[in-house]
Amino acid sequence: VALFPIPAMDMVSFTYKDIVPDAVEVSDIGQRCILNSTNIFQLNVASLPPGCYFVRFLQNNKVIGVKKLIKAR
C-alpha cells in the first residue's frame, strides 16, 4: 500500500499492488477510530487536527495493513 501525500493537508490517496481492502479507518495514537470509509482510494482528512495517525486497511473486517499518516496544518 502506498499513501500520499505525506504530510497530508486535506486529502490523502491510496494505491495498492496486491490485496485491495474493502474499507479504511484512521485511528489516533490511542487506537481510537476517528474516521472510517469504504472509499478505499481517497480520504478527506481536512477535519483532523495536525498530528500523527494510523490508517488501517480492512478486508472482511480484518486488518490487512497499517500505514502511518502525518496530518499537517
User: Alpha carbon 46 to chain centroid distance?
Assistant: 13
- 54, 36 Cβ separation under 8 angstroms: no
The predicted pLDDT at position 73 comes to 82
**C-alpha dist (Å) from residue 43 to 14, 16:** 8, 15
Report residue 48's pLDDT band, with 50, 70 and 90 as the boundaries.
very high
Cell numbers at residue 13, please? Answer: 490517496
The predicted pLDDT at position 45 comes to 96
Mean pLDDT throughout 52-72? 96
8-state DSSP, 41: S
Whole-model pTM?
Answer: 0.92
Q: What's the pLDDT tens digit per position in 11-46? A: 999 999 989 999 999 999 999 999 999 999 999 999
- 59, 38 Cβ separation under 8 angstroms: no
Phi and psi at residue 70, to the nearest 5°: -110, 120
